[in-house]
Chain A
Amino acid sequence: MQCLSHQLRKIKLLITVPKASYPNLKSIREDFPILHRKVHGKPLIYFDNGATTQKPRLVIETMNRIYEQENSSIHRGVHYLSDRMTEAYEEARNSVRKFIGAAASHEIVFTSGTTGSINAVATSFGEKYVGPGDEVLVTVMEHHANLVPWQMLCERKGARLRAIPMNDRGELMLDQLDSLLTGRTRMLAVTHVSNALGTINPVKNIVARAHERNIPVLVDGAQAVQHLAVDVTELDCDFYVFSGHKVYGPTGIGILYGKEKWLEDLPPYQYGGDMVDQVSLEKTTFNELPLKFEAGTTNYVGAIGMGKALEYLQGIGLEDIAAHEHHLVDYATHNLSQVPGVRIYGMASQRIATFSILLENTHPYDVGMILDKLGIAVRTGTHCAQPVMQHFGIEGTLRASLAMYNTPEEIDRFVTELQTAKSMLT
Chain B
Amino acid sequence: METKPIRQVQEEIVDEFSVFDNWMDKYNYLIELSRDLPAIDAKHKTEEHLIKGCQSKVWLRAEWDNGKIHFTADSDAIITRGLIALLIRVFSNRTPEEIMEADLEFIDQIGLRENLSPTRSNGLLAMLKQMKLYAVAFDAAKNKE
Interface size on B, residues (CB 8 A): 16
CB pair B77 A363 closer than 8 Å: yes
Knowing A40-B23, A424-B31, the reply to whether A363 touches B54 (Cβ < 8 A) is: no
Taken together as a complex, chains A and B put the C-alpha atoms of A124 and B10 apart, in Å, by 57
Q: Say how far A172's CB is from chain B's closest CB, in angstroms.
A: 26
A40-B23, A381-B54, A382-B54 known; A395+B31 contact, CB < 8 A: no
CA of A373 to CA of B55, assembled, Å: 17
Give the distance in Å from the alpha carbon of A424 to the alpha carbon of B23 in the complex: 12
User: Is B27 engaged at the interface, CB distance under 8 Å to the other chain?
Assistant: yes
Task: For the complex formed, measure the closest distance between the CB of A394 and the CB atoms of chain B, giving whole angstroms.
Answer: 11
Within residues 24 to 45 of chain B, which ones have a CB less than 8 A from any CB in chain A?
Answer: 24, 27-28, 31
* A269 interface residue (CB < 8 Å to B): no
CA distance A382 to B52 in the complex (A): 13
- Fill in one digit per residue for A366-405: 1 if any B CB lies within 8 Å of its CB, else 0: 1011100100000011100000000000011000000000
Q: Does B76 contact A (CB under 8 A)?
A: yes
Q: Which of A362, A363, A368, A370 contacts B27 (CB 8 A)?
A: A370
A66 interfacial by beta-carbon distance below 8 Å? no
Q: Say yes or no: is A365 at the interface (Cβ < 8 Å to chain B).
A: yes
What is the minimal beta-carbon distance from A196 to any residue of chain B, in angstroms? 14
Interface status of A425 (Cβ within 8 A of chain B): yes
Q: Which residues of A contact B115 (CB under 8 A)?
A: 369
Q: Is the CB of B80 within 8 A of A365?
A: yes
Taking CB atoms, residues of chain B closer than 8 Å to A396 are: 55
Contact A369 B79 (CB under 8 A): yes
Residues on the B chain within 8 Å of A370, using CB: 27, 79
Query: A380 touching B55 by the CB < 8 A rule?
Result: yes
Whether B92 sits at the interface, judged by CB under 8 Å, is no
Interface string of B82-118 (1 = CB under 8 A from A): 0000000000000000000000000000000001000
Interface residues on A, range: 10 to 19
| B117 CB to nearest chain A CB (Å) | 13
Interface centre among B24, B79, B80 (most CB of A within 10 A): B79
Q: Please, how many angstroms separate the alpha-carbon atoms of A365 and B30 in the complex? A: 14
Distance of A22 Cα from B90 Cα, bound (Å):
55
In the complex, what distance in Å separates the CA atom of A285 from the CA atom of B28?
66
Let me know if B56 is at the binding interface, CB within 8 A: yes
What is the CB-to-nearest-CB distance from B60 to chain A, in angstroms, rounded to a whole number?
Answer: 17
- The answer on a CB contact under 8 Å between A424 and B80 is no
Encoded as 1 (CB less than 8 Å from any B CB) or 0, chain A from 351 to 372 comes to 0000000000011011011100
Please judge, given known A-B contacts A395-B76, A425-B78, whether A365 and B55 are in contact too, CB under 8 Å: yes
Please report the C-alpha to C-alpha distance between residue A396 and residue B52 in the assembled complex, in whole angstroms: 13
A424 x B24 contact (CB < 8 A): yes
In whole angstroms, how far apart are the Cα atoms of A370 and B22 in the complex?
12
Interface-centre pick from B24, B28, B55, B56 (highest chain A CB count, 10 A): B55
A369, closest chain B residue (CB): B79
A373 to B122, CA, bound (A): 17
Q: Among A362, A365, A425, which residue has its beta carbon within 8 angstroms of that of B122?
A: A365
B116-136 CB mask vs A (1 if < 8 Å, else 0) is: 000000100000000000000
| Residues on the B chain within 8 Å of A365, using CB | 55-56, 77, 79-80, 122
Q: Which residues of A contact B78 (CB under 8 A)?
A: 362-363, 366, 425
Separation of A425 and B56 alpha carbons in the complex (Å): 15
Q: Do B56 and A424 have beta carbons less than 8 Å apart?
A: no
Are A424 and B55 in contact, with the CB atoms below 8 A? no
Q: Which residues of B contact A382 (CB under 8 A)?
A: 54
Closest to A421 in B: B27
Residue-by-residue, is B45-85 near A (CB-CB < 8 Å gives 1, otherwise 0)? 00000000011110000000000000000001111100000
List chain A residues, Cβ under 8 A from B57.
Answer: 395
- B31 contacts A373, C-beta separation under 8 Å: no
> A373 contacts B77, CB within 8 Å?
no
Q: Judging by beta carbons under 8 Å apart, are A366 and B79 in contact?
A: yes
Please list the residues of chain B having a beta carbon within 8 angstroms of any beta carbon in chain A: 23-24, 27-28, 31, 54-57, 76-80, 115, 122
| A-B contact list, 13 entries, CB within 8 Å | A40-B23, A363-B77, A365-B55, A365-B56, A365-B77, A365-B122, A369-B115, A370-B27, A373-B23, A380-B55, A395-B76, A424-B28, A425-B78
Supplied contacts A373-B23, A396-B55, 12 more A-B pairs, CB within 8 Å: A363-B77, A365-B77, A365-B122, A368-B55, A369-B115, A370-B27, A370-B79, A373-B27, A395-B57, A395-B76, A424-B31, A425-B31
